[in-house]
Amino acid sequence: KAGVTQTPRYLIKTRGQQVTLSCSPISGHRSVSWYQQTPGQGLQFLFEYFSETQRNKGNFPGRFSGRQFSNSRSEMNVSTLELGDSALYLCASRTGAGETQYFGPGTRLLVL
Amino acid sequence: SQQGEEDPQALSIQEGENATMNCSYKTSINNLQWYRQNSGRGLVHLILIRSNEREKHSGRLRVTLDTSKKSSSLLITASRAADTASYFCATVDDSWGKLQFGAGTQVVVTP
């Protein structure tokens, strides 16, 4: 089975712009979660979607949003980018509650 | 805030030696998972241990869980240079809960 894929892998944006990141889960996985990793804050949960519904949300400002499509693919959007949004954004998928989450390679975002 | 805290923060060992790292957490959990990350790449899942389990093995990996002490340990036996990575524990407080990560342990295995 193919693993979790994320596109793009690298991205450079400037402050004030917006960005959309994409995640394709493992086939058969209906849950997709997003995490942000920075040297200062470590790994932090953004949100989780299951069957197109947001199940859980982390403590991030409203500039961070996401959605999930009927084929379980997910996108996250960050509007009005700030320098502090520079991070590795990781997507993970799982079959459902209480199961292992499998991570993709991440999208490295640099905001200048 | 982070749920888990790994100890030590960094570990340097020689090939063939064992590496042990510990994870402590604060609240009750549904399960605890260990992940490995190489140089800022994606996280690789190692082991999931549920709250009603005490020990699990996978190849050269052994994980223990002590819910009374709210702690877990990961043992890597006969380490190899390829085990050089950061290791993270992550707790899940209920079955639909998010992963709450610790700061990680950086392991360096020298040939």
Query: Do residue B97 and residue A56 have CB atoms under 8 angstroms apart?
Result: yes
Q: Could you tell me if A55 and A69 are in contact, meaning their C-beta atoms sit under 8 angstroms apart?
A: no
| A54, A101, A107, A109: best to mutate for the B interface, most B CBs within 10 A | A101
φ/ψ of residue A85, rounded to 5: -80, -5
Residue A8 is encoded by which pair of tokens?
């793009």
Residue A56 is encoded by which pair of tokens?
């859980």
Query: Following DSSP, what letter does each residue of A37-62 receive, concatenated?
Result: EETTTEEEEEEEEETTEEEEE-S--T
State residue B93's pLDDT score.
Answer: 87
Q: Is A9 on the interface with B (CB under 8 A)?
A: no
Taking only the tens place, the pLDDT of each residue in B58-91 is 999 999 999 999 999 999 999 999 999 999 999 9
Taking only the tens place, the pLDDT of each residue in A54-105 is 999 999 999 999 999 999 999 999 999 999 999 999 999 999 888 899 999 9
Taking only the tens place, the pLDDT of each residue in B25-40 is 999 999 999 999 998 7
**Is the pLDDT assigned to residue B95 strictly greater than 90?**
no
Cα distance from B99 to chain A (closest Cα, Å)? 7
Q: Under the phi-then-psi rule, with left for phi > 0, alpha for psi from -120 to 50, and beta for the rest, what region is A91?
A: beta
Q: Could you tell me if A1 and A100 are in contact, meaning their C-beta atoms sit under 8 angstroms apart?
A: no
